[in-house]
């Protein structure tokens, strides 16, 4: 049985000192680290840790957000640990480390589910505020929607050039097929069709 400690900070400019001090304090047998954002789980240290751990090992972190900032990823990682029969200790959740395995797992699952509820609720609130803001802007006549990249008046120079090239080809008929035209200007076919629809609307 090994005590494995995982430490993470979000960027190379930040230091791991506090987390490594904790790893030293608990006399971790193995330490894995990452200096990388927790927005996803594609991190070398995390992957190496999962390759290393075996059944009956213990993984310790100072907080759940060291594993990930995303609730779904946390849920996924916690389940992977359970599948491997590896115990997870979270320092700032002492209630998940009572010494009784059944109670510990129950409390951890409850905490993870609670975090998921809070995260989902916050996302719904953000989306609701965005919807309200857009509705108010539309009533004031101030909402213009997302800027269009491929248009005659686009602020994106590359977008304007692509639009003009497509417009010249479509209006002159100087193209073999729309699929080939899309490849020539570096667009997907749905993007090309949207530009063509925009051209047709302007010509009406």
Q: Tell me the CATH number of domain 3-119, given options 3.40.50.300, 3.40.50.1390, 2.40.160.20, 3.90.1300.10.
A: 3.40.50.1390
Say what the pLDDT of residue 150 is.
83
Catalytic residue, candidates 10, 37, 154, 177: 10
Question: 61 pairs with which residues across the strands?
Answer: 90
**Burial class of 166 by CB neighbour count within 10 A (0 to 12, 13 to 18, 19+):** buried
Say what the pLDDT of residue 157 is.
84
Tokens 């790893």 sit on residue = 23
Say what the pLDDT of residue 52 is.
96
Return the number of other C-beta atoms located less than 10 Å from residue 163's C-beta.
22
| Whole-prediction pTM | 0.59
Give residues with Cβ within 8 angstroms of 70, minimum separation 6: 38, 39, 40
Query: What residue ranges in the chain does DSSP mark as E strands?
Result: 3-9, 30-35, 58-61, 87-90
Say what the pLDDT of residue 38 is.
81
Give residues with Cβ within 8 angstroms of 142, minimum separation 6: none
10 is catalytic: yes
Give the three-class secondary structure for 150: coil
Say what the pLDDT of residue 145 is.
62
Give the three-class secondary structure for 185: helix
Query: What residue ranges in 15-117 does DSSP mark as E strands?
Result: 30-35, 58-61, 87-90
Record: fold of 157-203: Arc Repressor Mutant, subunit A (1.10.10)
Say what the pLDDT of residue 147 is.
72
Q: What is the DSSP letter of 147?
A: P
- Give the domain ranges of the chain: 3-119, 157-203
Residues 20/55/115/109 CA torsion (nearest 10 deg): -140
What is the Cα–Cα distance from 112 to 164, expressed in whole angstroms? 52
Low-confidence ranges of the chain (pLDDT < 70): 119, 142-146, 203-204
């Amino acid at each position: 049985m090994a005590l494995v400690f995982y430490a993470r900070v979000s960027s190379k400019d930040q230091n791991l000192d506090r987390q490594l001090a904790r790893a030293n304090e608990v006399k971790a047998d193995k330490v894995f680290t990452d200096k990388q954002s927790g927005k996803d789980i594609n991190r070398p240290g995390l992957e190496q840790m999962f390759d290393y751990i075996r059944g009956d090992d213990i993984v310790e972190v100072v907080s759940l957000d060291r594993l990930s900032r995303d609730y779904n990823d946390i849920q996924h990682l916690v389940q992977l640990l359970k599948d491997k029969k590896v115990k997870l200790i979270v320092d700032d959740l002492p209630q998940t480390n009572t010494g009784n395995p059944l109670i510990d797992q129950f409390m951890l699952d409850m905490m993870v589910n609670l975090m998921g509820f809070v995260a989902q609720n916050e996302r719904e609130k953000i989306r609701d505020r965005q919807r309200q803001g857009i509705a108010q802007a539309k009533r004031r006549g101030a909402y213009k929607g997302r800027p269009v990249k491929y248009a005659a008046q686009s602020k994106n120079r590359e977008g304007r050039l692509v639009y003009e090239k497509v417009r010249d080809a479509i209006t002159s008929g100087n193209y073999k097929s729309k699929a080939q035209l899309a490849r020539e200007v570096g667009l997907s076919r749905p993007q090309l069709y949207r530009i063509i629809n925009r051209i047709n609307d302007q010509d009406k």
